[in-house]
């Protein structure tokens, strides 16, 4: 996809009248970080290439479009159950993804459509999972909250449970000595879960390469951070663990922070990184998101802090992209997600026998029970990656 | 053979006790320890974590010597933080390791039950067969002695309720060696329920059992003693109770067939059904509570099967008394099924026949 976009660049560059569009690289100053128990922090002066600018913009725009489609499909009652949108928080995921290497891992909670896409699942793989159809990345069996990809461990529905799981993935990296690390993501709501502190504690004792990432979007469901946490400086809540605060609406700041954190945790053990962000939608689709905050507040963030608009303005100003290129990306992202949504709607569900498929990697049950009796033979489609 | 086994049971011989018998014996503790040791030797991915498993040598000495042999990397002492370390163990299994997660006792696993069920048991299915979770949760389960209500509870029925888990409840040294090795090699999450009171008990073992290649199949019960008059199905320490009851029953001319379940999920109904077809009578014995218990499940399975028509009398459950465990010694003894209870239940369902 990226190749196709870069393929149109020569024309765009040739046709551009503004000399600034010839820039292939720029140096950018990102906003200050806040540090806790750290002597030095991430680089505030970062380099951005034209390819990177296009990539990040494309990724953020595609996630925004995916979530718009998800919202629409939910309103059409094609997506069922829970559906938590990431709109407003795109720079967090895209910035972190940009700093990950191939041995790095990520685990998150249930707001993961964007992450699933970033970890290599196609838009149809994401949207068909949401519609519960066969082309979904978990064949429609996991749904909105349970999507997986290589180096991506979900997609977890129990608030906070993914945090020790992430420390465990980091333990595996450490154990194997492969130089990898794990990003363990949770929200400001989950930040108050006891097991989060348990995970901090052990990860620090055992020097597990974990970046504990608190995506602070201001609200745990409808409870504002201030009403839920005695200390809302989430980056300081790791006790002995160092902490780092970053503007989660600035993709380059998040990338810089994650690069720093990656280097730190693989050498020294875990740290806590808070990405300060905002979600435009309610907690889930069943929440209009307006009883505990005002419409004005949401509008203000959209106008002043939107991660996509601000990045677009920046890369245009730097001359890394042209208006035409931006437009082409927008059109392509819309087209791609529109088509994916149409396919996700038209796709079929898996056959009924997959109800009895892959309960066990090595099933020892002679028969599984249907509603009436032990009439069913367990079926195996996959053995799993850990056999 | 049976009388010898029973004699040793009643005496509670320990591995250090000089043996009158020529046969080689092994304690349950050594069976578990050697199983872990051999599997760690065999597979670099296997490691053990839990409270006091390393420097203390295990709260119940199951991991004795392992820290000295394998070091900090593979024998990991955790803080007292079940939810956290169970989650870490599950996460490491998702990412390719083979953790043995020791709960000092299964009573504490309730702190971590979300990770056992939601994180371990369901992930393979939720991921449509992508991420399997090869982990063993193990530790002592059920009633110990004099530790009161919060430390005396059987979790067999709790965990066996959940698809995605395999639940093993071994009885003797053979069970422990063969089934723990099988559990560690298994690609799915296994809950392995030991019994503290049996840790120090010695059982006869032969060369086959002590061989490094010895594994038992998960999901298969063992007939401990054949009999023609009544089938008695039990697991864990209740197997001992049933064997003792069988000896009493033999004195009054009743030949009981004793089935050691070994595995609670899968449940080896084939072995139970075949036995019922021979004896036409069934008693279940367990230390856990009656409601929705292992015995209840067995009753339901029999009822739903053609085997039901082979029964000459209702199935009867012998269970732990339906109360929290008291500390009071005499009450505690009476809160768990004793051989006399099993004898009484057998006599009740056999009616006038004997």
Question: DSSP for B267-327?
Answer: T-HHHHHHHHHHH--EEEE-SS-STT-HHHHHHHHHHTSGGGGG-SS--EEE---SSPPPS
Within a domain: residue B354?
no
Residue-wise pLDDT for A140-184, tens only, equals 999 999 999 999 999 899 999 999 999 999 999 999 999 999 999
pLDDT given at position B7: 46
pLDDT of B11 over the 80 cut: no
Do residues B177 and B252 share a domain? no
Structure tokens at A95: 């910035």
Q: What average pLDDT does the segment B52-77 reach?
A: 98
d(CA B260, CA B104): 25
Structure tokens at A275: 């990405």
Do residues B150 and B196 share a domain? yes
Structure tokens at A118: 């970033």
pLDDT of A205 over the 90 cut: yes
Burial group, residue A292, by CB count within 10 angstroms (0-12, 13-18, 19+) = middle
Three-state secondary structure readout of A143-171: CCCCCCECCECCCCCCCCCHHHHHHHHHH
CB environment B201-219: b (16+ within 10 A), e (fewer): bbbbbeeebbeeebbbebb
Is residue B193 within 8 Å of B236, Cβ to Cβ?
Answer: yes
Do residues B193 and B254 share a domain? no
Which of B73, B84, B163 comes nearest A164 by C-beta? B84
Do residues B206 and B227 share a domain? no
pLDDT of A1 over the 70 cut: no
> Per CATH, is A2-350 categorized as 3.40.50.970?
yes
Taking alpha carbons only, the member of A299, A354, A308, A360 closest to residue B187 is A360
Query: Rounded to two decimals, what is the model's pTM?
Result: 0.93
d(CA A119, CA A247): 22
Do residues B33 and B88 share a domain? yes
Do residues B201 and B267 share a domain? no
Structure tokens at A18: 């503004």
Do residues B187 and B256 share a domain? no
Do residues B102 and B166 share a domain? yes
Q: Which of these three, B185, B210, B235, is where a domain ends?
A: B210
Q: Which of these three, B175, B210, B245, is where a domain ends?
A: B210
Nearest CA in chain B to A107: B91
Window 259-288 of B: residues touching A by CB (8 A cutoff) are 263, 265-266, 269-270
Within a domain: residue B183?
yes
Average pLDDT, chain B: 94
Is residue B221 within 8 Å of B262, Cβ to Cβ?
Answer: yes
pLDDT band (50, 70, 90) for residue A21: low
pLDDT given at position B22: 55
A351 touches chain B (CB under 8 A): no
B240 touches chain A (CB under 8 A): no
pLDDT band (50, 70, 90) for residue B30: very high
Do residues B250 and B339 share a domain? yes
The CA distance from B352 to the nearest CA of chain A, in Å, is: 34
Q: What average pLDDT does the segment A27-31 reach?
A: 93
pLDDT of A20 over the 70 cut: no
Which of B92, B132, B266 comes nearest A171 by C-beta? B92
B326 touches chain A (CB under 8 A): no
Partners of residue B123 in chain A, C-beta under 8 Å: 154
Average pLDDT, chain A: 94
What's the structural domain count of chain B?
Answer: 2
B137 touches chain A (CB under 8 A): no
Taking alpha carbons only, the member of B123, B180, B179, B191 closest to residue B155 is B191
Do residues B280 and B204 share a domain? no
Partners of residue B95 in chain A, C-beta under 8 Å: 105, 153, 168-169, 171-173, 182
Tell me if A161 and B87 make a contact (CB, 8 A cut-off).
Answer: yes
Nearest CA in chain A to B218: A364
Window 62-81 of A: residues touching B by CB (8 A cutoff) are none
d(CA B222, CA B233): 10
| Residue whose entry in the numeric block shows the structure tokens 């290497």 | A101
Nearest CA in chain A to B304: A373
Do residues B123 and B242 share a domain? no
Q: Which of B38, B39, B51, B82 is catalytic?
A: B82
- Enumerate the domain spans of chain A: 2-350, 352-387
Distance set, CA A41 to CA A47, A242, A251 (Å):
16, 11, 17
Residue-wise pLDDT for A299-354, tens only, equals 999 999 999 999 999 999 999 999 999 999 999 999 999 999 999 999 999 999 99
Within a domain: residue B215?
no
pLDDT given at position A23: 86
Q: Is B304 a catalytic residue?
A: no
Percent of chain A with pLDDT over 70: 94
Is residue A47 within 8 Å of A25, Cβ to Cβ?
Answer: yes
Is residue A25 within 8 Å of A50, Cβ to Cβ?
Answer: yes
Partners of residue A362 in chain B, C-beta under 8 Å: 186-188
List all residues 6 or more positions away from A55 whose beta carbon is below 8 Å from its beta carbon: A2, A98
B189 touches chain A (CB under 8 A): no
Cα B186 to its chain centre, rounded Å, is 17
Do residues B200 and B247 share a domain? no
Domain, as residue range, for B326: 222-349
pLDDT of B329 over the 70 cut: yes
pLDDT of B23 over the 90 cut: no
Residue-wise pLDDT for B177-205, tens only, equals 999 999 999 999 999 999 999 999 999 99
Nearest CA in chain A to B115: A161
Q: What average pLDDT does the segment B76-100 reach?
A: 98
pLDDT band (50, 70, 90) for residue B9: very low
pLDDT given at position A32: 84
pLDDT band (50, 70, 90) for residue B352: low
CATH number for the domain spanning B143: value is 3.40.50.970
pLDDT of B74 over the 80 cut: yes
List all residues 6 or more positions away from A276 whose beta carbon is below 8 Å from its beta carbon: A216, A245, A246, A247, A248, A249
Nearest CA in chain A to B96: A386
CATH number for the domain spanning B300: value is 3.40.50.920
Q: Is B151 a catalytic residue?
A: yes
Q: Which of these three, B178, B210, B242, is where a domain ends?
A: B210
Task: For A357, list phi and psi in degrees, rounded to 5.
Answer: -110, 140
3-state percent helix, strand, coil for chain A, nearest multiple of 5: 45, 15, 45
Is residue B193 within 8 Å of B180, Cβ to Cβ?
Answer: no
Taking alpha carbons only, the member of A207, A220, A205 closest to residue A109 is A220
pLDDT given at position A269: 98
Within a domain: residue B217?
no
pLDDT given at position A7: 35
């Amino acid at each position: 996809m990226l190749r196709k976009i870069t393929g149109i660049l020569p024309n765009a560059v040739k046709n551009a009248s503004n000399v600034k569009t010839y820039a292939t690289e720029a140096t950018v100053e990102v906003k200050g970080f806040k540090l806790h128990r750290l002597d030095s922090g991430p680089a505030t002066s970062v380099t951005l290439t034209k390819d990177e600018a296009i990539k990040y913009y494309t990724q953020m725009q595609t996630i925004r479009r995916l979530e718009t489609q998800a919202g629409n499909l939910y309103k059409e009652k094609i997506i069922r159950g829970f559906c938590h949108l990431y709109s407003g928080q795109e720079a967090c995921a895209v910035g972190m993804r940009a700093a990950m290497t191939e041995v790095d891992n990520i685990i998150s909670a249930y707001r993961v459509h964007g992450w699933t896409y970033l970890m290599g699942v196609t838009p149809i793989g994401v949207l068909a999972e949401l519609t519960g159809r066969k082309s979904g990345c978990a064949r429609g069996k996991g749904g909105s909250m349970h999507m997986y990809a290589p180096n991506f461990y979900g997609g977890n529905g129990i608030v906070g449970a993914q945090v020790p799981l992430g420390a465990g993935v980091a333990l595996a990296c450490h154990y194997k000595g492969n130089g990898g690390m794990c990003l363990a993501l949770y929200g400001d709501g989950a930040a108050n879960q006891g097991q989060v502190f348990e995970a901090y504690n052990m990860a620090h004792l055992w020097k597990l390469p974990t970046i504990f990432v608190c995506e602070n979007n201001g609200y745990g469901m409808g409870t504002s951070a201030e009403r839920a946490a005695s200390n809302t400086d989430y980056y300081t809540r790791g006790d002995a663990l160092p902490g780092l605060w970053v503007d989660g609406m600035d993709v380059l700041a998040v990338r810089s922070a994650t690069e720093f954190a990656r280097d730190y945790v693989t050498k020294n053990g875990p740290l806590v990184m808070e990405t300060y962000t905002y979600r435009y939608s309610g907690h889930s689709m069943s929440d209009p998101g307006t009883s505990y905050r005002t419409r004005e507040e949401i509008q203000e963030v959209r106008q002043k802090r939107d991660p996509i608009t601000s990045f677009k303005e920046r890369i245009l100003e730097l001359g890394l992209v042209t208006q035409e290129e931006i437009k082409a990306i927008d059109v392509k992202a819309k087209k791609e997600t529109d088509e994916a949504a149409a396919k996700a709607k038209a796709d079929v569900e898996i056959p009924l026998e997959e109800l009895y498929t892959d309960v066990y990697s090595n099933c020892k049950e002679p028969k599984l029970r249907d509603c009436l009796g032990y009439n069913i033979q367990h079926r195996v489609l996959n053995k799993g990656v850990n056999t | 053979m049976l009388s010898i086994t029973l004699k040793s049971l009643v005496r509670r011989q320990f591995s250090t006790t000089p043996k009158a018998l020529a046969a080689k014996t092994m304690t349950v503790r050594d069976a578990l320890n050697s199983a872990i040791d051999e599997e760690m030797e065999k597979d670099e991915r296997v490691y053990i974590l839990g409270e006091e498993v390393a420097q203390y040598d295990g709260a119940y000495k199951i991991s004795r010597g392992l820290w000295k042999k394998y070091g900090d990397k593979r024998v990991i002492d955790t803080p007292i933080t079940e939810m956290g370390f169970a989650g870490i163990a599950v996460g490491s299994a998702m990412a390719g390791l083979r953790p043995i997660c020791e709960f000092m006792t299964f009573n504490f696993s309730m702190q971590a039950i979300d990770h056992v069920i939601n994180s371990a048991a369901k992930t393979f299915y939720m991921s449509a067969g992508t991420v399997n979770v090869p982990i063993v949760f193990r530790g002592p389960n059920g009633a110990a002695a004099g530790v009161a209500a919060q430390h005396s509870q059987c979790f067999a029925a709790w965990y066996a309720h959940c698809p995605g888990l395999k639940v093993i409840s071994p009885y003797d040294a053979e069970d422990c060696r063969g089934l723990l090795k099988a559990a560690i090699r298994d690609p799915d999450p296994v809950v392995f329920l030991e019994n503290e009171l049996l840790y120090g008990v010695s059982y006869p073992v032969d060369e086959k059992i002590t061989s490094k290649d010895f594994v038992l199949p998960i999901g298969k019960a063992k007939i401990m003693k054949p009999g023609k008059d009544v089938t008695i199905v039990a697991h864990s320490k209740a197997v001992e109770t049933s064997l003792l009851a069988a000896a009493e029953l033999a004195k009054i001319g009743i030949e009981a067939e004793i089935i050691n379940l070994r595995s609670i999920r899968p449940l080896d109904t084939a072995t139970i059904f075949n036995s019922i077809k021979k004896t036409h009578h069934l008693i279940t014995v367990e230390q856990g509570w009656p409601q929705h218990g292992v015995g209840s499940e067995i009753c339901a399975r029999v009822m739903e099967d053609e085997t039901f028509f082979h029964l000459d009398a209702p199935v009867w459950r012998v269970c732990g008394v339906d109360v929290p465990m008291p500390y009071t010694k005499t009450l505690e003894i009476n809160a768990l099924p004793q051989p006399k209870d099993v004898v009484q239940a057998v006599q009740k369902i056999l009616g006038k026949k004997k």
